[in-house]
Amino acid sequence: MCGIAGVLSLDGEETTVETLIKMAALLHHRGPEVVGIYRQHPMAIAHARLSIIDLAGGLQPLFNEDKSIALICNGEIFNHVELREWLVARGHTFRTGSDCEAIIHLYEERGLDGITEMNGQWAFALWDNRARRLVLSRSRMGVRPLFYTLAGGKLSFASEIKALLACPKVERKPSKETLNQVFTYWSPLPGRTMFEGITEVPPGHTLSIYEGETNPVVQPYWDVTFPEASESYAANKSLTETDQTKFAAGLRELLEDAVKLRLLRADVPVGTYLSGGLDSSIITALAQRYATGALETFSVSFTDNQFDERHYQELVSKHLGTAHHVVECTQGDIGKALPEVIWHTEVPLTRTAPVPLFLLSGLVNQHRMKVVLTGEGADEILGGYDTFKEAMIRRFWARQPESKYRPQLLSRVHGYVKGLNTAGLNAMQVGFYKRGLTNTDDPYYSHRLRWDNTSKVKNLFSADFQAALKGYDAAMEQELSHWITPNLSRYHPLSQAQYIEIKTFLSTYLLSSQGDRMGMAHSVEGRFPFLDSRVVEYCNALPPSLKLHGLTEKYLLRKIAHDLLPEEILQRTKQPFRAPIRAVFSSPEATDYVQELLDPRQLTATGVFDPAAVARLWNKSQRELMPLGEVDQMALVGVISYQLWQRQFCETFDTHLQQALARPMEVVYLHD
């Protein structure tokens, strides 16, 4: 795991070492050990290393036999052992024990088609000096980030946007369209960033550009697919107990192998995150079977009982015999850490959930661990989210829209929310869920309600900002459709919802703001067995009833875990990872910066939000006896986090850069 950065000169001007040093300095948290630099005009690259495989010999850039190909990679190739055997048999010579060296020889052997042979989580840059071609690639599910920009006669790329902002002539201009997306989908659409002119390589895509060209070619090599509904229904209707057992055995075998690869293919100790939910508990149980000694497990607990899951975490840890570590989060802890979290997410948030995960990776770092396995991805591929249940119930209700009884099924979905009447929905709640009820032909039916609800946050935009965005909502939906398969309407309704969740939320938020960025902020690599492409493809092809069985989510996953976990964990319903919001911004640790950011003069200067509307929201949040609904809480996080983002990246970025450059950094020059 590392940070990568580089510049391809398109105008003939050489990239200076100073620029590479600045870029690497801003990625120090991703690779704190050593920076490798390589320059051979028109290419210049830098690699900040966090050593996990081949600790002594894996310094990057890596080269082929005659050094005509140079590679820097952020991530891991888990099937590198098998690839190495095949490539050696084909006559290739390996210079190191690094897993990433397999990428170079695959490219020599099969060109860009070699990428499809890799099982891993990667973002790499490869320079082919003979062909004078730069290739950027991102793994199938988008676990690791990779950004690029065309500015000042250069194509610059990096693992994080902040490194690009250190390049000459790269502007720090906020994208109002992307902010509009964040306040609709909770995160940017694929490829988008909060900066105009800076783009992210989408998951499952490669970028290729030759010297002398001015426009890169970005192409997919893999995409998420599901069977057509007719096939799904046929499988649904013919399922027997024998069929279920067969499907369960197939999932268990693939998942177990995915865990083994991610646990054993590392030259450093590997631990796990343990939330107390089904997903992380299964991963931990499988990992414990192959760990040498007691497995190290790490959890977040909260002083606020509404969010705390420590009972379940301790239950699993005791059952499995792990060496367990816990970081307890107060509202003040979250308030204190939020500014640093925004520096790492590089995008405003509408929830505080990333902050405890930032604190959790700090705990892992304190225990001198570099790698953890996590349960992310199970909800997307095995039907775990409440969104999926809501859509299923609403479709059932839509067949009899005037029914008084069908909507009451929705009261069983959010039982974990404090104060919710689980005996039945009141008239206001029924009215909320009834919006767009019969529009079941809408390809975004499963998510439209959530998106429309989140969009209410945009009522806080200033008149000028709203005017600047006028008409963009329609264009935004066209942009969304670019990333959605035309076959969506042919999928089973559950598959439609899964596809949309994966495309609009998994890599853009969950694996970014709650995943890679929070782990790498403390030099901790997350590995995700559920997102092994073999597991993903297998689960996508499963009959929908093996995922969402009635209102039982992740049905097949529960079947394979009976010999692994306590019954109390197996019977738990999904509880989304949530964190306090309202009390966070009233804590002493946050009061000073919140009051400063929400000062009407500061809001007016930023120009995005209406100071009077924000003042009303803030005053409402301070009246403890007044309920603060989900939209208001999202709005509060959104306004404060955007104001923090604006300050850090548009106003005080040069200060952050100087602080990064002041940090000691070992630099090794290769083939310069």
Segment among 355-369, 414-428, 594-608 with least mean pLDDT: 414-428
Confidence check: pLDDT of 237 > 80: no
pLDDT at 363 > cutoff 70: yes
Lowest mean pLDDT: which of 46-55, 522-531, 651-660? 46-55
Both structure tokens of 242: 């024998």
Q: Do residues 149 and 283 both lie within one domain?
A: no
- CATH code of residue 200: 3.60.20.10
- As a whole number of angstroms, the distance between CA 355 and CA 349 comes to 10
At 60-82, the pLDDT tens digits run: 999 999 999 999 999 999 999 99
- Counting beta carbons within 10 angstroms of the beta carbon of residue 649, is it exposed (0 to 12), middle (13 to 18) or buried (19 or more)? buried
pLDDT band, residue 576 (cuts 50/70/90): confident
Are residues 215 and 279 part of one domain? no
Catalytic positions, please?
2
Domain boundary among 552, 570, 588: 570
**What is the overall mean pLDDT for the chain?**
94
Q: Which residue has the higher pLDDT, 388 or 425?
A: 388
The domain boundary, picked from 544, 570, 596, lies at 570
Rounded percentage of the chain residues whose pLDDT exceeds 90: 90
- List the beta bridge partners of residue 209: 134
Domain hosting residue 530, numbered range: 229-381+509-570
* Same domain? 293 vs 198: no
pLDDT of 215: 93
Task: Tell me, yes or no, whether 163 and 301 share the same domain.
Answer: no
Judge whether 443 lies within some domain: no
- Residue 466, domain member (yes or no): no
What residue spans of 354-471 are helical by DSSP H?
Answer: 354-366, 378-382, 386-398, 427-434, 445-454, 463-468
- Please check whether residue 339 lies inside any domain of the structure: yes
Helix, strand, or coil here: 39?
A: strand
Whether 518 is covered by a domain: the verdict is yes
Per-residue model confidence (pLDDT) at position 1: 64
Lowest mean pLDDT among 123-137, 183-197, 419-433, 622-636: 419-433
CATH of the domain at 335: 3.40.50.620
Does residue 447 lie in a domain region? no
* β-pairing verdict for 62-63 and 69-77: antiparallel
Lowest mean pLDDT among 132-136, 176-180, 412-416, 526-530: 412-416
List of residues 6+ apart from 417 with CB closer than 8 A: none
Cα distance between residue 637 and residue 352, in whole Å: 7
* Whether residue 88 has pLDDT greater than 90: yes
Q: Are residues 177 and 315 in the same domain?
A: no
Does 243 lie in the same domain as 195?
no
**pLDDT higher than threshold 90 for residue 415:** no
How confident is the model over 253-272, as pLDDT tens digits? Answer: 999 999 999 999 999 999 99
Same domain, 70 and 185: yes
Q: Is the pLDDT of residue 58 over 90?
A: no
Predicted model pTM: 0.96
Cis peptide before 61 (omega within 30 of 0): yes
Based on the fold, state whether residues 216 and 268 are members of the same structural domain.
Answer: no
Q: Is position 258 within any domain?
A: yes
Pair 70, 193 in one domain: yes
- Could you tell me how many residues make up the chain? 672
What is the distance between the alpha carbons of residues 326 and 328, in angstroms, rounded to a whole number? 6
Residue 644 lies in a domain: no
Q: How confident is the model at residue 364 (pLDDT cuts 50, 70, 90)?
A: very high
Q: Which two tokens stand for residue 415?
A: 């039982």
Q: Are residues 283 and 333 in the same domain?
A: yes
Residue 591 within any structural domain of the chain? no
Question: CA-to-CA distance for 441 and 135, rounded, in angstroms?
Answer: 40
Same domain, 346 and 270: yes
Task: Say what the pLDDT of residue 625 is.
Answer: 74
For the segment 540-558, what is each residue's pLDDT rounded down to a tens digit?
999 999 999 999 999 999 9
Q: Please give the structure tokens belonging to residue 362.
A: 């700090």
**In sequence order, which residues have a C-beta less than 8 Å from that of residue 46 and are 6 or more positions away?**
4, 5, 6, 20, 21, 23, 24, 35, 36, 37, 38, 72
Confidence of residue 417 (pLDDT cuts 50, 70, 90): low
Average pLDDT on 138-142 reads: 98
Tell me what the mean pLDDT of segment 22-37 comes to.
96
CA–CA separation, 404 and 387 (whole Å) = 21
Task: Count up the domains in the chain and report the number.
Answer: 2
- pLDDT surpassing 90 at residue 664: yes
Q: Which residue has the higher pLDDT, 575 or 648?
A: 648
Of 545, 570, 595, which residue constitutes the final position of a domain?
570
416, pLDDT greater than 60? no
pLDDT for 154 equals: 96
Provide the b/e sequence for 136-161 (b: ≥16 CB within 10 Å): bbbbbbbbbbbbbbbbbebbbbbbbb
211 and 239 share one domain: no
